[in-house]
Structure 1
Amino acid sequence: MIARMWHGRVPTSKAGAYREFVNSRAIPDYRVARGNISVHILERAEGDITHFITLTFWEDLESIKGFAGDDIELAKYYEEDKEYLLEFEKNVVHYEVVGQS
């Protein structure tokens, strides 16, 4: 199993709207992707900036390629992200899951 992690920052004033967008648009897209096991959205407010982490779990790297394309290190963005994100981090990170409960 592979974990894929993306990080983004939004102005805290837009965090609620971004949270709604992610839950209504991004999560459903992940859930129908072949090989996706689960998706988790993490949020942490830090003054005027709110951090979001998208943590997804996949069966294998081929499943991630089916979702993200051949260069699985590149982050994927929606057109609507321009309304919220302060910058567009180029890469995501992957981890092999070596333990779970």
Structure 2
Amino acid sequence: MITRIWHGKTKASDADAYLDFLLKTGTKDYRATPGNIEVKVWRKIKANIAHFWTVSTWDNYESIKAFAGEDVEKAKYYPEDNNFLLEFEPTVLHCETFNVK
């Protein structure tokens, strides 16, 4: 399994609106892609900044390609992100994932 982690920042005042946007777009697209196992959204508001992480688990890199395109390291953005995000990080983090029982 592979975990894909994306990070973005908004103004704290936009935190709830951006969370709603994430749940209606990106996370739905993750879940609709064959090979996606799970998606979680993490949020931390500190001072005037809201940090978001989407943490998605996938069967393999081929599954991630179906969502993100050939360059799986490149972050995927939506046009509406321009209304919220303070910057556009160019890449995401991928990690091998191991279940511990």
TM-score range, shorter-chain basis?
over 0.9
Structure 2: runs of 5 or more not aligned: none
Aligned pair 1:26/2:41, yes or no? Answer: no
Partner of 2:11: 11
Distance, in Å, in 2 between the alignment partners of 1:96 and 1:77 is 23
Partner of 1:64: 64
Aligned pair 1:86/2:56, yes or no? Answer: no
Structure 1: runs of 5 or more not aligned: none
Q: Per-residue CA shift, 1:18-52, capped at 9, x if unaligned?
A: 01111122221111101100110000001000100
CA displacement at 1:69 relative to structure 2? 1.0
Distance, in Å, in 2 between the alignment partners of 1:68 and 1:25 is 14
Q: Percent identity of the aligned residues?
A: 46
State how many pairs are aligned: 101
Structure 1 segments (4+ residues) deviating >2 Å: 98-101
Could you state the TM-score of these two structures normalised by the residue count of structure 1? 0.96
Could you state the TM-score of these two structures normalised by the residue count of structure 2? 0.96
Distance, in Å, in 1 between the alignment partners of 2:17 and 2:30 is 19
Distance, in Å, in 2 between the alignment partners of 1:84 and 1:99 is 34
